Amino acid sequence: MQSKSSPVSLFEIYTCFFWIGLLSFGGGLMPWIQREVVTRRNWLSNEEFLPGMAMSQVLPGVNSTNVAVYVGQHLRGAIGSAIALSGILTGPIIMVVFAAFSYQYVLGVPAIQAAAAGVAAAAMGMMLCTAISAVQACGLKLAPICVMIATFIMIGILHMSLITVVAIMTPISVFLSWPKSTQEHSTQVHSTQVHKADSDA
C-alpha cells in the first residue's frame, strides 16, 4: 500500500482515472478501478476499497463516479475527490461529443457492433472477479456469504427494488457484522442497570 510519507500526487490520480474513464467501453468500471487502485498501484488495500465500493452501490449517482470520489478523498482529501471525479469524466465527455457528430456513420459499421459486444462480455468477467474478491475479503465467514446470497436472490431472482433490499439487508448486515465483544458489553451494561434499578426499588 502507498506509504503515508509519500502521498499520491494529484497528477497520478487524474491520469489514472482519466484512462479508466476514456477506455471504459461496455461498462464494468468498478473491477477496473479496483485493479488499478488496489492491485497495480497499491494505493488502497482491499479492505479499504471494498467499503467504498459498497457505499457507491447504495448512494445516488453513478457507481463509478461515486467510487472515484471515495478513492480520491481517501488519498488526498477533498481536492483528491475533485481531481478523481474530473479525471474519470473528462474522457467520456470527449467521446460523447465526438460520437454525437459521428453516430450515424459509426452505427452501421459491423466491426464496431462486434467490438462493443466483446467488451461487454469482458466487463461481465471483470465484475465476476470483483465479486470473488469481495467474498475472499469476507474470510469465507457464514454471515457475510448468507447476506450476499440473500441480496442476489432478492435482486436477481425476485427483482425487488434496490431501496427495498437496502432497507431490509442493511440493518441485518450491521447486526451480523457488529463486534461480538461490543454486543456482550452492551448486554452486560444493560443487565447491570436493571439489577441496580431493582436493588434501589
How far apart (Å, rounded) are the C-alpha atoms in residues 131 and 129?
5
The whole-number pLDDT of residue 182 equals 47
Mapping DSSP onto H, E and C, the string for 124-188 reads HHHHHHHHHHHHHHCCCCHHHHHHHHHHHHHHHHCCCCHHHHHHHHHHHHHHHHCCHHHHHHHHH
DSSP state of 120: H
The whole-number pLDDT of residue 82 equals 96
Which cell numbers in the block locate residue 94? 470527449
The whole-number pLDDT of residue 142 equals 78
How does 128-147 read in b/e, with b if 16+ C-beta sit within 10 Å? eebeebbeeebeeeeebeeb
The whole-number pLDDT of residue 74 equals 93
- pLDDT means per 10 residues, the chain with 201 residues, are 72 95 73 90 90 84 90 94 95 83 69 70 72 69 82 88 86 78 49 51 53
Which cell numbers in the block locate residue 45? 488495500
How far apart (Å, rounded) are the C-alpha atoms in residues 127 and 123?
6
Where do the structural domains in the chain lie, given as residue ranges? 1-137, 139-201
Query: Positive or negative CA dihedral for 186, 174, 169, 163?
Result: positive
The whole-number pLDDT of residue 146 equals 85
